Amino acid sequence: MSPSSKLNAIALAVLAASVLSACASRQPATAPAAHGAAPSTASTASSARLQAAPAAFRLTTGAADGDRHASVRSAGDVEVSGGTISSVALTSAGGAPVRGTAAGDHRHWFPDTALAYGTSYRLVVHASDAAGKAQNRSLSFTTLTEDDRLIGTFTPEDGSTVGVGMPVSLSFNKPVTDKKAVERGIRVTSDSHQEVVGHWFGDQRLDLRPETYWKAHSKVTLSLHLDGVKGAANAYGTQDRTVRFTVGRRQVSTVDAATHTMRVQRDGRTVRTIPITSGAPGSTTYNGQMVISQKLISTRMDGATVGYAGQYDIPDVPHAMRLSTSGTFIHGNYWAQDSVFGNANVSHGCVGLNDVQGGGDPGQDAAWFYRNSLIGDVVVVQHSHDHTVAPDNGLNGWNMAWEQWKAGSALA
């Protein structure tokens, strides 16, 4: 059995006669009623009882004998159905016992703490059913080494409130070759009941989104069941958790590079029109749908990091919100003349809003927009003399057609 399976099932069939004793027969204990007559109450109750067969005697362990990449979370777990656990002995390679706890019904046993990485263990289990039938199991396994862990760093955060454009994005620490196995272990659902599909950008990034933006005020759940999943040679998942986040109001802001304005729409209503400056000729701003992926009250912007060495180095750019991995931001600008905003494009590719140095004036456009924006809000840029931002440059998969998006799923 594959080491990616969470549990190795070892079943022992038990003869029905030995378990059911005098009730083994599935035929009514009394003669059937004459044609047209209602069965007696006693006969009906007896028949109902006979249909409820007891669970088969089944012993399940969290690792297989000889497993070399067992989960530190679940390899020591023991479960019995149709019987109870008599004793469990789990020891490390040196013979040190591992303490564990049996559930009150004596059908579950698990170590008190996670097992150690890259360590060999021996597990001996004794169990029996109600008829006294015994089942003994002895196995040895070795847990996954820390270097062989496959970990997905995800966004958004658990418990966060995000904008309607926020995808679920996972970045893995190792290349994934069995994308189908990994994607099967990841599920995103919402109370808006929108279909959610994954798309792989290369071997280490998986984004998941619906066809259109999330419905406002949706509750979204990310379920990660990757513990023990083999994503590649020497790359095994360790995560088993649930992440929940909330979608806020619908806010989509449209930047028109030709008219130097940004229209902020919330729940379909324009709440503010802001004069802006975007990328100058030779350093134009990307077109397309871009998602705010990071908010920084102040940050340093050095042209050397994005191919403009020596052209600028501003240590205290206020109210900065990232729109692309490559360095596109929408941010406050205190160094340009006021007359620029709404009239000219002078930036190196960012979208600039009027602000003051230090960002301390809440009445400035940049301060207002920062205060009224969520990570996951959408900023759409149009009429710029540039191409559309690449779907994997930031959280910007909305720029890919739905059929093309679905084709990038390993489960398609």
Domain match, 60 and 20 both: yes
Domain match, 344 and 361 both: yes
Within 8 A by CB and 6+ apart from 247, the residues are 161, 162, 163, 164, 166, 190, 214, 215, 216, 217, 218, 219, 220, 376
Is residue 186 situated within a structural domain?
A: yes
SS3 125: strand
- Domain C-terminal end among 104, 120, 144: 144
Domain match, 201 and 281 both: no
Mean pLDDT of 53-82: 93
Is residue 102 situated within a structural domain?
A: yes
Is residue 262 situated within a structural domain?
A: yes
Is residue 409 situated within a structural domain?
A: no
The two counts, helices (H) then strands (E), for the chain are 5, 28
Is residue 411 situated within a structural domain?
A: no
Mean pLDDT of 315-323: 97
Confidence grade of residue 310 (pLDDT, cut at 50, 70, 90): confident
Domain match, 328 and 351 both: yes
Distances (CA, A) of 119 to 4, 69, 92, 116, 144: 17, 10, 7, 6, 8
Domain match, 313 and 179 both: no
By residue range, what is the domain housing residue 125?
8-144
pTM score of the predicted model: 0.84
Tokens of 372: 């009224």
**Does the pLDDT at position 307 exceed 90?**
no
Domain match, 384 and 258 both: yes
Domain match, 377 and 343 both: yes
Tokens of 381: 């840029």
SS3 sequence of the chain: CCCCCCCEEEECCCCHHHHHHHHCCCCCCCCCCCCCCCCCHHHHHHHHHHHCCCCCCEEEECCCCCCCCECCCCCCCEEEECCEEEEEEEEECCCCECCEEECCCCCEEEECCCCCCCCEEEEEEEEECCCCCEEEEEEEEEECCHHHEECEEEECCCCCEECCCCCEEEEECCCCCCHHHHHHCEEEEECCCCCEEEEECCCCEEEEEECCCCCCCCEEEEEEECCCCEEECCEEECCEEEEEEEECCCEEEEEECCCCEEEEEECCEEEEEEEEECECCCCCCCEEEEECCEEEEEEEEEHHHHCCCCCCEEEEEEEEEECCCCCCEEEEECCCCHHHCCCCCCECCCEEEECCCCCCCCCCHHHHHHHCCCCCCEEEEECCCCCECCCCCCCCHHHCCHHHHHHCCCCC
* Block residue for tokens 């995000």: 162
Give residue 287's pLDDT.
98
- Domain C-terminal end among 116, 144, 172: 144
Is residue 231 situated within a structural domain?
A: yes
- Which one has a higher pLDDT value, 10 or 176? 176
Tokens of 268: 């379909």
pLDDT tens profile 107-153? 999 999 999 999 999 999 999 998 889 999 999 999 999 999 999 99
Give residue 303's pLDDT.
84
Q: What is the DSSP letter of 337?
A: -
Q: Assess whether the previous peptide bond of 167 is cis (omega < 30° from 0).
A: no
Task: Give me the CATH number covering residue 393.
Answer: 2.40.440.10
Distance CA 217, CA 374 (A): 13
**Does the pLDDT at position 63 exceed 60?**
yes
What total of structural domains would you count in the chain? Answer: 3
Mean pLDDT of 198-221: 98
Confidence grade of residue 21 (pLDDT, cut at 50, 70, 90): very low
Rg (CA), the chain: 30
Q: 128-137, 176-185, 253-262, 272-281: lowest mean pLDDT where?
A: 128-137
Give residue 13's pLDDT.
31
Give residue 54's pLDDT.
67
- Which one has a higher pLDDT value, 7 or 150? 150
Domain match, 21 and 47 both: yes
Mean pLDDT of 47-59: 65
Domain match, 311 and 367 both: yes
| Strand-pair partners of 411 | none
Task: Give me the CATH number covering residue 180.
Answer: 2.60.40.3710
Tokens of 175: 């290349």
Domain match, 286 and 395 both: yes
Q: How high does pLDDT run on average in the chain?
A: 89
Is residue 226 situated within a structural domain?
A: yes
According to DSSP, the β-strands at 108-111 and 78-81 are: antiparallel
**Cα atoms in the 13 Å half-sphere on the side-chain side of 102:** 15
CB 4 within 8 A of CB 68: no
Is residue 304 situated within a structural domain?
A: yes
- Domain C-terminal end among 144, 172, 201: 144
Q: What is the DSSP letter of 388?
A: B
Task: Give me the CATH number covering residue 103.
Answer: 2.60.40.3780
**Does the pLDDT at position 223 exceed 60?**
yes
Domain match, 55 and 136 both: yes
- Which one has a higher pLDDT value, 294 or 130? 294
Q: What is the DSSP letter of 287?
A: B
Domain match, 124 and 190 both: no
